[in-house]
Amino acid sequence: MSEAATKPSARLDDVMLAMDVVDTLRHRQDLVARELDGAAREAQLIEKLRAIYAQQGIEVSDAILREGVNALAESRFTYDPPPAGFGTTLARLYVSRKRWGRPVLALAVVLLVALVGYFGVWRPLQAGQAEQARLELSQGLPAQMDMLYQTIYDETKVQQAVAEAEALRSRGKAFAEEGNRAGAEDAVEKLTALRDQLRQEYVLRVVNRSGVQSGFWTFPEINTDATNYYIVVEAIGADGNRLNLPILNEETGETETVSMWGLRVPQSVYNAVAADKRDDGIIQANEVGRKSDGFLDVEYLMPVLGGAVTRW
């Protein structure tokens, strides 16, 4: 049993030695080129190989040396790489997967997250927003216009407000049908302003405070021979607070929202207000007009010429 166990070991050692001989011959290409050119010199080659191994303290039999020489000649123990091809490429990729696997996996995860985010979240969100915007333009804004028009129709006490509201609603709905969102929203904004104007209630009176002019006069640029007279007024709401109102400046043509402005009046009214203030420093007849709920304009209690300025 001991002999049977040692035989495979000996055969394995012989094979390993033969492989080492082949490896030595490969690394000593000068030996191979000189000695293997002729079969008659095989003995000399074996002798030199024995000397090489002897220098390393290794004793190798002639049979092993001869086996190694023959194995080199027969290309045994030689690895021949497989020919290039698709299968070979896949095999090499599989073998080197530890080197490229993690980066590729990370890239695949990032790509998957991006695709899910784009097609699963962003695209549906964009589509939902676009649909919501379409519905608002085709249904929501026109419904707001109808509601505002109906409110103005119910609350107004002058036909002018109804006519203005009807014109704004028609224009706004036309914009909505054309897909002009800005035009439709502008119509809603103007209808809202018209409704709010109808609901306003305030008293327009001459400003009579220390350090603030109650009136002034100017020469208009287009006619320096004429003189324009203004009284400085403010709107006081039902709660006693001053209101900021949009006022068209007749000199610049621009509308500004202000709390005080100059209202152009005849010279006789200007003189009367000035005399009232000179009397005792207080303007007793300071109420110029009233703006009531349901009306668009102020009902004036004294003659006015209609123009106004916001800066003086």
What domain range is 182 assigned to?
Answer: 131-199
Claim to verify: residue 225 and residue 288 sit in the same structural domain: yes
- Is residue 3 scored above 50 in pLDDT? no
Tell whether 103 is covered by a domain.
Answer: no
pTM: 0.58
Q: What's at 151, amino acid-wise? A: T
Residue 84 lies in a domain: no
Burial class (CB in 10 A: 0-12, 13-18, 19+), 130: exposed
Report yes or no on 195 lying in a domain: yes
Domain ends where: 145, 171, 199?
A: 199
Count the alpha carbons within 13 Å of 25 in the hemisphere toward its beta carbon: 30
β 215-218/245-248 pair status: unpaired
Q: How many domains does the chain have?
A: 3
User: Domain check: are 235 and 176 in the same one?
Assistant: no
Residue type, 221: E
126 lies in some domain: no
Same domain for 182 and 216: no
Domain boundary, last residue among 73, 98, 113: 73
Are 172 and 209 found together in one domain? no
d(CA 243, CA 101): 72
Distance CA 92, CA 94 (A): 5
For residue 30, is pLDDT > 60? no
Q: What are phi and psi of 264, to 5 degrees?
A: -75, 130
Asked if residue 121 belongs to a domain, the reply is no
Got the DSSP string for 198-251? HH--EEEEE---TTS-SEEEE--TT-TTS-EEEEEEEEEETTS-B--EEEE-TT
Rounded to 10 degrees, the C-alpha dihedral 92/95/101/102 comes to: -140
Among 162, 150, 236, 147, residue whose Cα is nearest residue 200: 236
pLDDT digits (tens, 9 = 90+) for 228-237: 999 999 999 9
pLDDT digits (tens, 9 = 90+) for 106-132: 888 898 888 888 888 888 888 888 778
Statement to judge: residues 208 and 301 lie in one domain: yes
Residues 179 and 218 in one domain: no
pLDDT band at residue 10 under the 50/70/90 scheme: very low
Amino acid type, 188 = V
Same structural domain, 28 and 49: yes
The residues, ordered by sequence, that sit 6+ positions from 150 with a Cβ below 8 Å of its Cβ are none
Q: Is 116 inside a domain boundary?
A: no
pLDDT at 13 over 70: no
In whole angstroms, how large is the CA radius of gyration of the chain? 53
Say if 16 falls within a structural domain. Answer: yes
Question: Considering the domain boundaries, does residue 93 fall inside one?
Answer: no
Q: Give me the amino acid identity at 309.
A: V
Measured distance CA(125)–CA(295) in Å, rounded: 46
